[in-house]
Amino acid sequence: MKFHIQTWGCQMNDHDGEKLSGLLSAEGFEAVDSAEEAELVLLNTCSIREKAVHKVYSELGRLREEKQRRPLMVGVTGCLAQQEQAALFKRAPHIDFVLGTMALKQLPRLVAEAQAGKARVMDAGEYPDNHLFPPSVTRRRDTAKALVTITEGCNHACTYCIVPTTRGAERHRPYGDVLAEVRGLVERGYREVELLGQNVNSYAGGCTFADLLERVSEVEGLEWIRFTTSHPMNFTKDLARVLVANPKVAPFLHLPLQSGSDRVLKRMLREYTVAEYLERLGYLGEGRSRMALSTDFIVGFPGETDEDFDATMRVLDEVAFDGSFSFIYSPRPGTPSLRLKDDLPMAVKSARLTRLQQRQSELTRASNERFLGREIPVRIETHGPNEQGWWLARSGEWKTIHLAAGPGRELPFGELVRARVTLASPHFLGAELV
């Protein structure tokens, strides 16, 4: 049986897609590149924002028409599956099975039941060992960086966030399991890993997250370690010290702020003030100047005033984030923020988002311009140049690099090379091979 997996969302979803692909491949199924070639299409979904949900239902509509033309099995997994569960069958009756985020290893059973003719197969249960997925089963995509889950779920209770519903409470992999997986990845040729979790720096799998970074960095042959995502309340001085001092930890930190207004942060139940967020950034000391910092912003949260948004803009300028991910507030089912009055016109929300993103673009360009003329190590992320003749690479600071290597030159995929930065834009750095 040929299968195709479509994935939306974060790195955790990407890695779930690799796990699901491995489970099907172990059953003798064959992965194909498109839904049109497949006999089984699995939609690996995200539900953190309404837009992501709309994309899933749009694809389900297309697959309904496809299913009328030929035999086709359709399954839904991921956060939307965990959130909606049986309600998915009511909105899209042509779905054959629904698989929750905490039941990934049940996929072969659900497929077998659907193949046997059972209708509306579903498992959205919580399995206590679901976070202990065997790495040997994972079917990894052809990428220069390997994803490694260290913790799943979140114990925070942000009023806008559906993650505690879709991913559950925190579960932590023992550090020995994490180290064994990283060693195996290095043996397979990977030189960079990204440690994943809804809140990685709350890690408690037998050591602290700072300790885990130190232990992973001792794996011989590993060059860079990244991690995402961090909660400011769990960002410690020890973690800052490792981030600054350990040369294998990439000089990049994503630390979501969400709002520059204490009043809005309180309504979000983020558990910190702006001053406390800035205090944690201060833990980085002089090392802050040597790394890139990105964040998240939610614009137009219920009750956000002009003064609240202006406070966000002031923090944006004060910190001068190298990059940010910003979105208009998206109400999610079952979250406490639904009880808050949300009467801000969409036109105002959109105008605020545009203003923030325009200013961020200026800050990102300024950040990128600081690289002009510098020689930096970058990792090759493609097997060949694109149509414009650039090789795509990535710096330790998570800067996208368009690298000129010269005609006929082959570069080593997944390896570090030296590059001299010659161009800076808000979106990428241009560089030439040294």
Q: Annotated binding site, which residues?
A: 10, 46, 79, 154, 158, 161
Q: Which residues of 95-104 are buried (b: 16+ CB within 10 A; e: fewer)?
A: bbbbbbbbbb
Instruction: Please say whether the beta carbons of 414 and 144 come within 8 A.
Output: yes
Angle between helices 306-319 and 346-369 (to 10 degrees): 10
CB 282, CB 318: distance < 8 Å:
no
Neighbours of 359 (CB within 10 A): 15
Residue 247 CB neighbour total at 10 angstroms: 10
- Give the β-pairing of 375-380 and 391-395: antiparallel
Q: Give the list of residues 6+ apart from residue 45 with CB closer than 8 angstroms, or none.
A: 8, 9, 13, 52, 53, 56, 76, 77, 78, 79, 80, 81
Instruction: Name the binding residues for [4Fe-4S] cluster.
Output: 10, 46, 79, 154, 158, 161
Helix (H) or strand (E) holding 423: strand 416-424
Beta strands, E only, 206-335 = 224-228, 252-254, 292-299, 323-328
Residues in the chain: 434
